[in-house]
Structure 1
Amino acid sequence: MGHEIVGQVTSIGHNVTKFRVGDIAGVGCIIGSCGPCDNCKQDLENYCPKMLWTFNGHHEDGTRAFGGYSDNMVVEERYAILIPNGFALAGTAPLLCAGITAYSPLKYFGLSKLDRHLGVAEFGGVGHMAVKFAKAFGAKVTVISSSPSKKKEAVERLGADSFLVSHN
């Protein structure tokens, strides 16, 4: 869908302060919103009636947004993330969807507090990210999967504390 995007900044608007031409930026699934509505003011831009998706959205002038499938794209500064020098770009892109999908609820529900135990049901892209973030927060992690073949990856590669097969 073109929504995990990492690319080089080729030009900036006159009010842009956190990017320079040549910087590497990351973009998730939203590239714009109205700003003054109640949702935007409460950091709930995903509920803004004028929210603009990275992919298949339409700019105010009617042009369509094609996301990562575009050669170039326009993004509001607040929806772009400065990627530090030295980050592997191919490994950075998944953080902009699966990564934030896992990170946001872990942070919101206080997984960083001591003595937390997280169960990760199934083990796809979001599940992998959930294990990595939860371990970084210091939580105990159990991966729950219907596929016994994923145990080695979950425990040995990603550091899950335990693994549970969800069927006999």
Structure 2
Amino acid sequence: MNVREWWTKFIETDRPGLVRLLLIGGLGVALLAFGNFGVPRPSPPSTNASTTPHLAETPLSQQEAMVSAQLTGILEAIPGVRQVSAAVTLTRSIQSQYVSSSGGGNGTSPVVVSNQNGESVVPLDQVGPAIGGVVIVSPSAANPLLRAEMAQAVETLLQIQPYQVLVLPTAPTP
């Protein structure tokens, strides 16, 4: 039996099924065609109030470098720890959420306030970056107690799990 014979037999024997099939198919095409209509959601406007870029406005690699530098400074403040190199990997950058014009916190249409310095967006919250992992290298890590203190400091500061932190000693110089 070829397709033409099957189609002819289908039309003759099951007319209500054919009508249902055509209606469902037409509804699917209509939903696909008209599904993209609606009000576009604008992104929050940039502010002119400050001239220095916020951490949320910098690229992910720059945020990683900034967090790594801060972490290095904090770890070197631990007594006995010296020459620390830190590398932080972020999986998500800092994200800002804004008050919406409807009063909620979904941030799809932000409230813009005008003042003497220009326009600014009303912030609601800022979600911190997601840390993928941290590698610390220091000659002080050869001491197990200092290595444990550095790992615990990183876990506490960045609020991450122990498996996300690796503390390694540097090779001894000859």
Asked if TM exceeds 0.5, the reply is no
TM-score normalised by structure 2 residue count: 0.23
TM-score normalised by structure 1 residue count: 0.24
Greater helix share, structure number:
2
Q: Which one has a bigger Cα radius of gyration?
A: 2
